[in-house]
Amino acid sequence: ERHKTFAAVDLGASSGRVMVGRVGPGALDLTEAHRFPNRPVRVPDGLRWDILSLYAGVLDGLRAAGQVDSVGIDSWAVDYGLLDADGALLGNPVHYRDTRTEGVAEQVWATVPAAELYAATGLQYAPFNTLYQLTAARSTAQLAHAERLLLIPDLLAYWLTGEAGTELTNASTTQLIDPRTREWAHDLAGRLGIDLKLFAPLRRPGDPAGHLTPRVLEETGLAGPVPVTTVGSHDTASAVAAVPAVGERFAYICTGTWSLAGLELAAPVLTEASRAANFTNELGLDGTVRYLRNIMGLWLLQECLREWDHPDLGELLRAAAEIPSLRSVVDAGDAAFLAPGRMPARIADACRASGQPVPGSRAEITRCILDSLALAHRRAVAEAQELADHPVDVVHIVGGGTRNELLCQLTADACGLPVVAGPAEAAALGNVLVQARAQGLVGDRASMRRLLARTQPLRRYEPRGDAAVWRAAQDRLIRP
């Protein structure tokens, strides 16, 4: 029988993992080989990723995974490492939540107005888009000495294989790609003084990305040759590829540190209304567009848990379920929640400022966060359908948030649509399936999705109650 195994390296903002996927005719299963924390470090000059500890986690994970037929890597987007002419890393990659990009967008817009930027790239405004990060870094010695810029998954692939490339789905989050041609936006980069020669050549999901070097083989105990395959290296691209949907009338919400809520489209939506609503057109598998909005996501809760010294989550969620719904809500799309720290107080402040009851207990704050996320999900799903003229019958939730039953139910209630929740490890599954497809084990996107629907445990939530209550809650946030 034709079965093959694939290692999926999947790095999230709070943990990394190496998963092993086994794929055969009609079969797909996933097991965890290794999981490790991702702990950003605040040094005097700002917030940094601990990239060496992440790379060590990847090597440990490959050793634990054992012999595989290929390796694929995905991670969060927009961030990068710079290499000098010898190929050495210049400093620790800057975290997208670092404050260096504050006020930078306004400088960029003075050269290229926001409307032109959107027309050229289709990307939502987010302070951390690579374009703004590079502008913030403009006069640094580090950038002046850089010969190469590698996005995080491409940097790890470079260390594993010695070969440099720029994977397209993740490149689309730099805000330097034209979503219509799916090539670099040369004119825009030129006007902003960004040197596109820093980037290694583009490669696409499914393309070969080299082989583990002899040194890496030795260190992981694997027998060569082990190919590395380009996957949707933006974790959200891999997660969307693993949405177990049937047909095209579906919305998805990729949950985790972020909630990324939207649609899979054949072409970008670049209208002024779409820009005003801050929807993004990131690139997905096979030339698709991930038309979505970034919502702060479970980051809001993670930051509270950190502040509260990690109480039992199950208990807290049970208590939150008992609190009456929609007493107070905050705008979970607000970039004011981007930076770490003091999250319970910031949420209380936002409720106070909008004249709502101020949540006091941990359960009340948790309920406020989950209601607010469900509300933001509702709004994104409704607006995406309208802006893209693409109606849906079902909302798929994938990623870590599928384990939060209250969030899934509230999202079904708020959207007034059935929710299908699962798989939780969507990014890793999308990563595995693209590798399997490169080796001829699975077919097109639709057949990948059928395989997921048949093999992965999914849970369905029907909408309860009155959708009008949610509409009224939304009106509390959107003031004319």
Residues sharing a CB contact under 8 Å with residue 389, sequence separation 6 or more, in sequence order = none
Name the DSSP letter for residue 334. -
Q: Is 92 an interacting residue with respect to ligand LFR (CB under 6 A)?
A: no
Residues sharing a CB contact under 8 Å with residue 283, sequence separation 6 or more, in sequence order = 168, 169, 171, 172, 177, 179, 182, 237, 289, 290
Q: Which residues pair with 89 in a beta bridge?
A: 83
Distance CA 186, CA 421 (A): 40
| Closest separation in Å from C-beta 211 to ligand LFR | 27
Binding mask 6-35 for ligand LFR (x = CB under 6 A): ------xx----------------------
Structure-token pair, residue 449: 């999705």
- Stretch 234-273 residues interacting with ligand LFR (CB under 6 A): 234-236, 256-258, 260
Angle between helices 343-353 and 362-388 (to 10 degrees): 70
Structure-token pair, residue 254: 């990729």
Rg of the chain over Cα atoms, rounded to whole angstroms, equals 21
Binding mask 285-304 for ligand LFR (x = CB under 6 A): ---------x----------
Is residue 201 packed enough to be buried (19+ CB in 10 Å), middle (13-18) or exposed (0-12)? exposed
70 vs 236 by CB, closer to ligand LFR: 236
Distance CA 266, CA 286 (A): 10
- Determine the interface stretch with ligand LFR among 48-56, 75-83, 100-108, 189-197 (rule: CB under 6 A): 75-83
Distance CA 156, CA 150 (A): 9
Q: Can 235 be counted among the known catalytic residues? A: yes
**Residues 123, 280: contact at Cβ < 8 Å?**
yes
Catalytic position from the list 69, 79, 178, 235 = 235
21 vs 401 by CB, closer to ligand LFR: 401
Of the candidates 130, 132, 122, which has an alpha carbon nearest to the alpha carbon of residue 149? 130
- Determine the interface stretch with ligand LFR among 64-72, 110-118, 233-241, 439-447 (rule: CB under 6 A): 233-241
| Closest separation in Å from C-beta 78 to ligand LFR | 5
| Phi, psi (degrees; rounded to nearest 5) at 160 | -75, -30
Q: Is 96 an interacting residue with respect to ligand LFR (CB under 6 A)?
A: yes
**Residues 71, 216: contact at Cβ < 8 Å?**
no
| Closest separation in Å from C-beta 240 to ligand LFR | 10
| Closest separation in Å from C-beta 404 to ligand LFR | 16
| Closest separation in Å from C-beta 13 to ligand LFR | 6
Distance CA 158, CA 160 (A): 5
13 vs 436 by CB, closer to ligand LFR: 13
78 vs 108 by CB, closer to ligand LFR: 78
- Determine the interface stretch with ligand LFR among 48-56, 230-238, 339-347, 378-386 (rule: CB under 6 A): 230-238
Q: Is 77 an interacting residue with respect to ligand LFR (CB under 6 A)?
A: yes
- Determine the interface stretch with ligand LFR among 76-84, 208-216, 261-269, 343-351 (rule: CB under 6 A): 76-84
Question: How many residues belong to the site for ligand LFR (CB under 6 A)?
Answer: 14
153 vs 416 by CB, closer to ligand LFR: 153
Q: How far is CA 396 from the centre of its chain?
A: 16
Distance CA 126, CA 47 (A): 17
Residues with catalytic function: 235
Question: Which positions lie near ligand LFR, rule CB under 6 A?
Answer: 12-13, 76-78, 96, 234-236, 256-258, 260, 294
